[in-house]
Amino acid sequence: MDYSQILYGGDYNPEQWLKYPDILEKDVLYMKKAHINTVTLGVFSWAILEPEEGNFCFSWLEDIMDNLYAHGIAVILATPSGARPKWLAELYPEVLRVDESRNRNLFGGRHNHCYTSPVYREKVRRINKELALRLGKHPAVILWHISNEYGGECHCPLCQQAFRVWLQKKYASIEVLNESWCTTFWSHIYQSFAQIESPSSRGESMIHGLNLDWKRFVTDQTVDFVRREIKAIKSEEPNKPITINMMYDYEGLNYHKFADIIDIVSWDSYPTWHKDNDYETAMQTGMQHDIMRCIKHKPFLLMESCPSATNWQGVSKLKKPNMLAAASFQALAHGSNSVLYFQIRQSRGSCEKFHGAVIDHYGGEDTRVFREVSDLGKQLGNIKELLGTVVHADVAVVYDWENRWAMKDAMGPRNKGLFYKEVVEKSYSAFRKQGLNVDVIDMEQDISAYKIVAAPMVYLFRCGFEERVRKFVEQGGIFVLTYWSGIVDENDRCFLGGTPHGLLDVMGMRSMEIDALYDGESNFLVPAENTIYEIASKYRCQHLCDLIEVTTARALMIYQDDFYHGYPAVTVNRFGGGQAYYIGADVEQKCYDDLYRHLLKEADLEPLIEGTISEGIEITSRKSQNAEYIIIQNYNDTAVQMNLSENRYHVLRGASIHNIPSLETLILKRKQ
C-alpha cells in the first residue's frame, strides 16, 4: 500500500449498513472511483464491537478492513469512547455526565460521559486494548484516531474530588489559594480544600480565579483521559501514530495542552461558505488551520470536512461548484496532509440523515457531489510532492485560550462583547494581505525567531510572557500590542502599578482608562503630526478606546472625537534594537492593513510573491530544503489577473499563471 499520498477519504460507518451487503460492496467500488485512499472506521461502533459487557465482536470490522486493504484503501482506526452503549450506562450510572446544576444526565447523545469515572476509564481501557490487540497490527491501519471531538465537562462527585486534589497540588495550602483567588471579596474565604465546589450558577460563579482554575482542570482531566486511552492502545500496538480530532475555535479545551501526547494534530472544518464574503470566511478558516498547525508546528490533518452541506448549521447551504476544491486546497496550503470528509455514505436515519456525504441516499455515482469529489481525488494525486514540505512563517499572532477564558469572565469593560477573536483576525488578515504566512501561537510558545509578533488583547499575562516580549523587542523584534493587555496575572488578579504590566518602558506608554462605546457608537483615529507612514485620512473605531499617556513613545494616530480628542491612539516606541507598537482602540481593518504594510518594510520582509496582491487573493507557501511551493487562491466572484513572471515558476496546478478564475487555485513551484 502506498502511504506516501495525500490522505483522501473520510469517516465511514459500515456498522450502519451491515444488513446491506450489496451497499457495502458498492461503497468500496465508489471509493476507488473517487480516488479515495483512506477511511476512518469505528468512531461510533462501541455497541457493535461490544454488544454486552466483555463480549467482543471484531470480526465484522476485520472483514471490512481486509476488503479495504485488498483495494488499497488505508484505515484510520478510531477508539469508540465518544459514545457508549446503553448497557454500560445502565450497569454503571456513574459514567454519565453531571451538569453544572448537579443533575445527572440520562443515557443518550454522545460525549455524555465523565472523564474522571474509574469505571468509564476502565471500560475504555479494556475496549481500546482489545481493539489494538485484535486489529491494531492490521496492515491497513495507518493512524489511531482517539475518540471523537473531546469536549464538555462533568460536575459529578468524582470530578469534584479530582478538582480538589488538583487544587491542593497546585496551591499546597488553602491560604495560598485564598490569596490567589482574592476570596476576601464578598467573604468567600475557604477553610479547607474539601469545601471547594466547581463553579455553578446555583452557587459560586463570581470568583474568577476559581472559574479559571476549573477550566484548566477540565483540560488537564481530559488530557489525562486521552493519555490513558493512548496507553491502552500502545500497550498492544506501540508503533502507529496517534491523533485526536479537534474543533473550530472550540473554547472548552486548551488544545495546546494535548501537543505532547499526540503525534499529529487533526481537526474538523465546516466553514459557512457563500454567507457574507468568501474571502473573509477563507481568512477565518485559514486562521484556524494555522492555529492547528502551530500546536505542534508540524503538518496536520484535515480530519473532517463536508463534501456538500452540513445539516446542523442554521442554514445548510450547498457548496457552489469549485468551492469544495478551493476549501480543500486551502487546507493543504496551510499545512494539512489530508482532505478527509464527514462522511463517505450518508446515514439513513437519526439526526445526521441530511448531513452531506460522498454517497447520498440516491446511492449513485452520477451526482454533482460525487463528480466533484472524484475530480478532486484525481487532482490530489498530481500534487503529492507537497508531502514532506512544511509551512514557515516569519510573523506570528498570539491567540491564547486561557486569556480568552479570563477575558470572557472578567465583567467589564464591555459585557456586550469584547470581540477578542475578531481583533486577532484583524492582525491575522492584515499579515495575510501582505502575502505572508502567519503562525498563530499561544502565550507559552517561543517568539524569539519571528520578525514581527502581534499580541492583540492579551489581557492575562502568564508564563513570563512580558519578559519574553521585552527580550524580543530588545533584540530587534517588532511587537504590536493592543488595548486591554497586561491587565491581570495568571490568577486573574489585577496587576498593581500600571498597565500593560511589565512593559511600560518597552511600550513607552501607560493605559490610564478605557472607554467602552455603546453598540453603534464610534470615534475616529486621525494621523498625528509628522506621523511616519502612509495613513488613510481617518479610521473608524468602536467598542473600546484606550486613554493612554505616552512617556517615550511617539504618537502615530490620535483620537478625533469625544473628551479625549487629541489623545494618542496608536503609538510606537523604540526599545533596544526593536520597536513596540500600541493600538489603543478597536479600529477598522483598513488601519491594520496600512500599519502592517509599514511594519513589513520596517522588518525588511518580502511577500511570498512579487507584484501587487489583489483583494480576495490568498497566498500561502510550503517548502522543504529543495523546493518551495506557492499556493494562490482566488476567493472573488470573478477572475483576477496576476502579474507573475513565468521565468520564476513552474505551474504544478492551474491553467494560467496570469489569470485565476473565481475559486480557483494556482500551485506554483519556485524555480531554483
Question: How big is the site for Zn ion, counted in residues (CB under 5 A)?
Answer: 6
Phi and psi (nearest 5°) for 441?
A: -125, 170
Can you tell me which of 355, 622, 623, 653 binds ligand GLA, judged by CB under 6 A?
355
- Identity of the residue numbered 457: M
294 binds, among Zn ion, ligand GLA, none (CB under 5 to 8 A by kind): none
Instruction: Provide, rounded to whole angstroms, the least separation between the CB of residue 427 and Zn ion.
Output: 38
Site membership for ligand GLA, residue 347 (CB under 6 A): no
Instruction: Work out the angle at residue 95's Cα, subtended by the Cα atoms of residues 94 and 97, and round it to the nearest 5 degrees.
Output: 95
Q: Mention every residue, 6+ apart, whose C-beta is less than 8 A from residue 308.
A: 318, 319, 324, 356, 357, 369
* CB-CB contact of 147 with 82 (8 Å): yes
Q: Which residues pair with 509 in a beta bridge?
A: 550
User: Strand 141-145 and strand 478-482: pairing?
Assistant: unpaired
Distance set, CA 280 to CA 109, 285, 306, 415 (Å)? 33, 9, 19, 25
Instruction: Give, as ranges, the residues between 311 and 340 that touch ligand GLA (CB under 6 A).
Output: 312
661 closest CA partner among 632, 622, 620, 623: 632
Cβ closer to ligand GLA: 185 or 312?
312
Q: CB under 8 Å to 317, separation ≥6 — which residues?
A: 272, 273, 274, 275, 309
Binding to Zn ion (CB under 5 A) within 125-154 occurs at 154
Write the CB contacts of 518 (distance below 8 Å, at least 6 apart in sequence): none
DSSP 8-state class, residue 308: S
- Tell me if 342 contacts ligand GLA by CB under 6 A: yes
Total binding residues toward ligand GLA, as defined by CB under 6 A: 10
User: Does 15 contact ligand GLA by CB under 6 A?
Assistant: no
The helix/strand/coil state of 145 is: strand
Which of 112-120, 337-345, 373-381, 523-531 is the region at the interface with Zn ion (rule: CB under 5 A)? Answer: 112-120
149 near ligand GLA (CB under 6 A): yes
Q: Which residues are catalytic?
A: 149, 304
Residue 114: contacted member of Zn ion, ligand GLA, none (CB under 5 to 8 Å, by partner type): Zn ion
Q: Least distance to ligand GLA from the beta carbon of 666, Å?
A: 30
Residue from 116, 254, 579, 665 touching Zn ion (CB under 5 A): that is 116
**Residue among 468, 462, 428 at smallest CA distance from 448:** 468
Does 145 sit near ligand GLA (CB under 6 A)?
A: no
Rg (CA), the chain: 26
Closest CA to 618 of 385, 436, 418, 388: 436
Angle at 402 between CA 582 and CA 578, to 5 degrees: 30
Q: According to the binding rule CB under 6 A, does residue 84 interact with ligand GLA?
A: no
Taking CB under 6 A as the rule, does residue 304 contact ligand GLA? yes
In the bound complex, what is the minimum distance in angstroms from residue 95's beta carbon to ligand GLA?
20
Contact stretch for ligand GLA (CB under 6 A) within 59-67, 304-312, 404-412, 531-539: 304-312
> Does residue 114 belong to the site contacting Zn ion (CB under 5 A)?
yes
Q: Using CB under 6 A, which of 270, 405, 524, 596 touches ligand GLA? A: 270
Q: Can residue 254 be called a binding residue for Zn ion (CB under 5 A)?
A: no
Distance CA 249, CA 251 (A): 6
Contact between 156 and Zn ion (CB under 5 A)? yes
Is 564 a residue that touches ligand GLA (CB under 6 A)?
Answer: no
499 touching Zn ion, by CB under 5 A: no
- Provide the β-strand partners of residue 499: 511
Q: Given the C-alpha cell 520578525, which residue does it identify?
A: 451
- Residue 186 backbone dihedrals phi, psi, to 5 degrees: 60, 20
Contacts of 103 (CB under 8 A, 6+ apart): none
For Zn ion, the closer of residues 95 and 423 by Cβ is 95
Positive or negative CA dihedral for 105, 106, 111, 113? positive
- 148 touches ligand GLA (CB under 6 A): yes
Label residues 442-464 b or e (16+ Cβ within 10 Å = b). bbbbebeebbbbbbbbbbbbbee
Residue span binding Zn ion (CB under 5 A) among the ranges 79-87, 159-167, 314-322, 394-402:
159-167
Least CB distance to ligand GLA at residue 248 (A): 9
Q: How far is the CB of 310 from ligand GLA (least distance, A)?
A: 5
310 interacts with ligand GLA by CB under 6 A:
yes
344 scored as a contact of Zn ion (CB under 5 A)? no
159 binds Zn ion (CB under 5 A): yes
> What CA–CA distance (Å, rounded) separates 255 from 606?
32
In the complex, the smallest distance separating the C-beta of residue 293 from ligand GLA, rounded to whole angstroms, is 19
Nearest distance from C-beta of residue 35 to ligand GLA, angstroms: 22
Q: Which does 96 bind (CB under 5 to 8 A by kind): ligand GLA, Zn ion, none?
A: none
Query: Would you say 35 and 378 are in contact if contact means Cβ atoms under 8 Å apart?
Result: yes
User: Does residue 85 have a cis peptide bond before it, meaning omega lies within 30 degrees of 0?
Assistant: no
Q: Binding partner of residue 156 among Zn ion, ligand GLA, none, CB under 5 to 8 Å per kind?
A: Zn ion
Cβ(43)–Cβ(145) below 8 Å: yes
Q: How far is the CB of 596 from ligand GLA (least distance, A)?
A: 33
Only segment of 107-115, 140-148, 441-449, 473-481 that touches Zn ion (CB under 5 A) = 107-115
**Minimal distance in Å, beta carbon 303 to ligand GLA?**
8
Interaction partner, residue 116 (Zn ion, ligand GLA, none; CB < 5-8 Å by kind): Zn ion
Identify what 342 binds: ligand GLA, Zn ion, none; CB under 5 to 8 Å per kind: ligand GLA
Q: Which residues bind ligand GLA (CB under 6 A)?
A: 148-149, 268, 270, 304, 310, 312, 342, 352, 355
